[in-house]
Amino acid sequence: METITNSEKMYQVSTLQALMLGYSRGVITVSELLQHGDTGLGTFENVDGEMILLDGVCYRATEDGSTVIAEADRGAPSPPYATCRGSAPLKSGRSEAWTS
């Protein structure tokens, strides 16, 4: 049996369906989320901006298009984001041309 290390795991708080059903209260903070990885997408409590996790920094994109670093104690609901650490590119073989 193959052993899975922490660097091979994905972390997801919840699903898009939960968010669409109205679950927008914070269930995890930015600082807690960053303990599980460094890359991901999501939203913030009460859908207050878009969450962008990139290289271990959490940004909040606002409705006017500006981007700021999110506060460590800012809450995040159960959005459809996942974070990962230590990922490597997936190598694939050659694919044939696709036609419709």
Domains assigned to the chain: 30-82 (3.30.1330.80)
Per DSSP, the three-state class of 20 is helix
pTM over the 0.85 mark:
no
pLDDT tens-place string over residues 10-47: 777 777 788 788 888 888 888 988 888 788 888 888 88
pLDDT tens per residue, range 40-77: 888 888 888 999 988 889 999 999 999 999 999 998 87
- For residue 90, the model assigns a pLDDT of 66
Q: Is the pLDDT of residue 6 over 70?
A: no
